[in-house]
Amino acid sequence: MSYFDIYLKYKDLPFVDIFSALTDYDVESAIESNRQGIKQLLTLISPQAENHLEPMAQKAHVKTLNNFGKTIQLYTPMYLSNYCQNQCAYCGFNSQNDLPRKKLSLKEVEEEAKLISSTGLDHILILTGESPGDSPLSYIKDCIKVLNKYFSSISIEIYALSEDEYAQLIREGIDGLTIYQETYDREIYDRVHKAGPKKDYLFRLDAPERAAEQGIRCINIGALLGLADWRKDIFFTALHAQYLQDKFTEVEMGISIPRLRPHQGHFKVANYINTRNMAQIITALRIFMPRLGIILSTRESSQLRDSLLPLGITRMSAGSSTAVGGRIMGSEDGSNLHQFDISDNRSVDEIKVMLATRGYQPVLKDWMHI
Amino acid sequence: MSDQLIIGGKQINNRLFIGTGKFSSYALMRDALEAAKPDVVTVSLRRVDIGSKTDNILDYIPKNCIVMPNTSGARTADEAVRIARLARVSGSSNWIKIEVIQDNKYLLPDNLETLKATEILVKEGFIVLPYISPDLSMARRLADAGASAVMPLGSPIGSNRGVKTRELIEILVREIKIPVIVDAGLGRPSQACECMEIGCAAVLVNTAIAVSADPVNTAQAFVEGVRAGRRVYLAGITEDENQARASSPLTGFLRDNES
């Protein structure tokens, strides 16, 4: 049994017909229901529910407060390497893109770690492109050894690994895995992942499960919103999260909601997600899974991040750079090495002040090596 | 009137314990604690930055409070034990609230793993207060293992639903020799009062205070609710007269048949 079986079961649902049959009463019932299932999820993400965003937001806000309190956990990404064999149409690290390639030396990892740590951040997410020659598992392990000295929690957002490889990294000290399926639509997945190991849809789909089998503490999944019909991708992301939570009850599940942004590959966004859609996605996810971590990154503008905050967000990145060595090189040298553009360029201190102003406690540390 | 609650050799005067997660700021948490004057506060060790010179949560807790770290995040007895040992090194106290949760949907505790951790930590000299689903057999085992109290949940963490487990908690209060402290699910002072009326030794409240629009007043209201409940428990509350009486006497035959 894999999540793929569940995907197959629902992939041909007549979404359009289901949505068009929904009434206002169905939406109101779904918002209030204590038994959140497939029907409620479909209702909450439907076009019909767009007329009910305020009651959805009110419900989502209360559920978030009761489950997470007035706190937001902060983390920051650190890019280790942008060498990549994949040809993802939407990504700046695409192997066909003519951009300077760089991999941090362990000394540079330590320098960058010191800079990040000095801002007070204590949770770090490390990222690499997929290139066994340039960023093999042994290199990731060496980086984790360095980072363990500076951070209470280390998560990875790297290429999909085997179960044994996840076990090795967990032993080394990581506690979180972020891996996006990008889109659950297999045809679109195949089209936008033109070449490289990432073309293997199933190996990626089952990656969170392999990490969970080895005892990873936190799993964060997501779809890159804009690649396909967002309602379907959010539906399958939410079902994926529920499947993992049911099977691995001890795991802290999270969903990120990255929206496609301008980038180097000049990829045309087919299904743009507007602000109302973002609000609907966050509130629907919160009502569907009250204990779900919901993550909003610096891809989004400061104004939008601040506005979406009370609808259900529990984690935010701060002081981000999407360039390899972006912090130690400064913006000029690092400006053409990045994966995607950042919209929210506020410093960690500025984010902390914003949170305090809005009545939220920034949580810098929420785990430790035990 | 002597009404002493002694746990771990310490006299507890305020029977409202307060949890420190979920507040919008440490400063507001401190204000609420200063207003409510709890003797015992819980802190998640996962949130404590031991080396931090600024923004250390422990600096915002009044000095006269007993700081009871909890093992939030532990999924097994082994993880709870390791977190407890780290807590002791951090120097907060040798009290530990054991939380072992393998269920991230409802945050319901794993009683069996909790018992295993209790057995180990009591032997290591900790004052152990385990968070449990209310279960008589387990509570007995925990008491035998040397737990200083048991902390059954009233309803799931953060649910504000009150003492939904009342029948089971009343049994624990009657049968268990160590203090019964209701932890989790209390959303209103009246619910805290209810726990005390049925004879619980104390209650622990976090979410309802922390996410209230006015944590200072809410914390004080909980103190008053707890005090009122304790007082009427000691005074002896009149039982409900909630069952209908039979309309004709049931023992009338006794007189008729006297001979």
List the single residue in B24, B46, B104 with the smallest CB-CB distance to A366. Answer: B46
For the CA atoms of B38, B135, B131, A68, the dihedral, rounded to the nearest 10 degrees, stands at: -100
Residue A35 has pLDDT above 80, yes or no: yes
CB contact under 8 A, B158 and A66: yes
Of the candidates A244, A248, A166, A171, the one whose C-alpha atom is nearest the C-alpha of residue B102 is A248
Which chain A residue has the Cα nearest residue B85?
A370
Question: How many CB atoms within 10 Å of residue B244?
Answer: 6
Q: In what order do the strands lie in the sheet with B66-70?
A: B151-152, B127-132, B95-98, B66-70, B40-44, B16-19, B202-205, B181-183
Residue A279: what pLDDT?
95
pLDDT of res. A23 = 96
pLDDT above 60 for B259: no
Q: What is the DSSP track for A139-190?
A: HHHHHHHHHTTT-SEEEEE-S---HHHHHHHHHHT--EEE---B-S-HHHHH
**Residue B180 pLDDT greater than 90, yes or no:** yes
Q: Which residue of A has its CA nearest to B105?
A: A291
Please tell me which of the candidates A120, A217, A291 has its beta carbon nearest to residue B105.
Answer: A291
CB atoms within 10 A of CB B79: 18
- Beta-carbon contacts of B252 under 8 Å, excluding residues fewer than 6 positions away, are none
Between A and B, how many residue pairs show a Cβ–Cβ distance under 8 A?
A: 75
Chain B environment of A253 (Cβ under 8 Å): 104
- pLDDT value, residue B119: 97
Catalytic residue among B97, B105, B116, B164: B97
Provide the percentage of residues in chain A whose pLDDT is more than 90.
74
Helix (H/G/I), strand (E/B), else coil: A283? helix
- For residue A248, count other CB atoms closer than 10 A to its CB: 20
- The position carrying tokens 């990120």 is A256
CB contact under 8 A, B22 and A370: no
Measured between beta carbons, the chain A residues lying within 8 angstroms of B82 are: 370
Average model confidence (pLDDT) across chain A = 91
Distance to chain B for A17, nearest Cα, Å: 32
Q: Find the range with the poorest average confidence among B78-82, B217-221, B232-236.
A: B232-236
Q: What pLDDT shows up at residue B249?
A: 72
pLDDT digits (tens, 9 = 90+) for A114-172: 999 999 999 999 999 999 889 999 999 999 999 999 999 999 999 999 999 999 999 99
Chain B residues touching chain A at CB-CB below 8 Å: 21-26, 45-49, 52, 54-55, 73, 75, 79, 82-83, 86, 101-105, 107, 158-160, 207, 210-211
A198 to chain B, closest Cα gap in Å? 30
Task: Record the tokens describing residue A88, joined without a space.
Answer: 């993802």
Residues of A in contact with B161 (CB under 8 A): none
Please determine, for residue B91, whether its predicted confidence score (pLDDT) is greater than 90. Answer: no
Look at residue B52 in the predicted model and tell me its pLDDT: 66
Looking at per-residue pLDDT, the higher value among A334 and B199 belongs to B199
Put simply, the answer to whether B159 touches A249 (Cβ < 8 Å) is: no
Instruction: Give chain B positions within 8 Å (CB) of A120.
Output: 54-55
Tell me the helices (H) and strands (E) count for chain A, helix number first.
16, 9
Average pLDDT, stretch B175-189? 95
Which residue among A65, A251, A368 places its CB closest to the CB of B86?
A: A368
Nearest residue in chain B measured CA to CA from A246: B105
The pLDDT confidence band at residue B71, using thresholds 50, 70 and 90, is very high
CA closest to B160 among chain A residues: A66
Total count of residues recorded for chain B: 259
Q: How far is CA A72 from CA A244, A258, A322, A364, in A?
A: 23, 18, 21, 9
Nearest Cα residue to A302 out of A350, A356, A344, A348: A344
Reply yes or no on whether the pLDDT at B256 is more than 90.
Answer: no
Q: Which of A122, A365, A369 to mutate to test the interface with B (most CBs of B within 10 A)?
A: A365
Q: Which residues contact B52 (CB under 8 A, 6 or more apart)?
A: A365
Is pLDDT at A268 greater than 80 in this prediction? Answer: no
Question: With contacts defined as CB-CB under 8 Å, which chain B residues touch A310?
Answer: none
Give yes or no for a contact between B181 and B151, defined as CB atoms under 8 angstroms apart.
yes
Interchain proximity A249–B26, CB inside 8 Å: no
Quick check: B138 pLDDT over 50? yes
pLDDT for res B238: 67
Q: List CB contacts (< 8 A) between B210 and chain A.
A: 69-70
What ipTM is given for this predicted complex? Answer: 0.85
Asked about B97 being catalytic, the answer comes back as yes
Q: Cβ B79–A370 below 8 Å, yes or no?
A: yes
Instruction: Give the model's pLDDT for residue A177.
Output: 98
Q: How far is B13 from chain A (nearest CA, A)?
A: 28
With CB atoms and an 8 Å threshold, state whether A71 touches B21: yes
Distance separating alpha carbons of residues A13 and B253, to the nearest angstrom: 72
Q: Kindly determine whether residue B22 and residue A70, on different chains, have CB atoms separated by under 8 Å.
A: yes
The dihedrals phi and psi of A316, each to the nearest 5 degrees, come to -140, 150
Amino acid at B244: A
Q: Which of A65, A66, A370 sits opposite B83 (nearest CB)?
A: A370
Mean pLDDT throughout A28-38?
Answer: 94
Q: Of B22, B82, B86, which is closest to A71 when you measure between CB atoms?
A: B22
Whole-number pLDDT of residue A328: 84
> A366 contacts in B (CB within 8 Å)?
46-47
Interchain contact, A249 vs B47, CB within 8 Å: no
pLDDT value for A335: 54
Crossing angle between the packed helical segments A230-247 and A275-288, to the nearest 10 degrees: 20
pLDDT at res. A264 = 47
Chain A contacts to B (CB-CB under 8 A):
65-71, 120, 122, 152, 217, 245, 249-253, 291, 356, 359-361, 363-368, 370
Nearest chain A residue to B208 by CA distance is A66
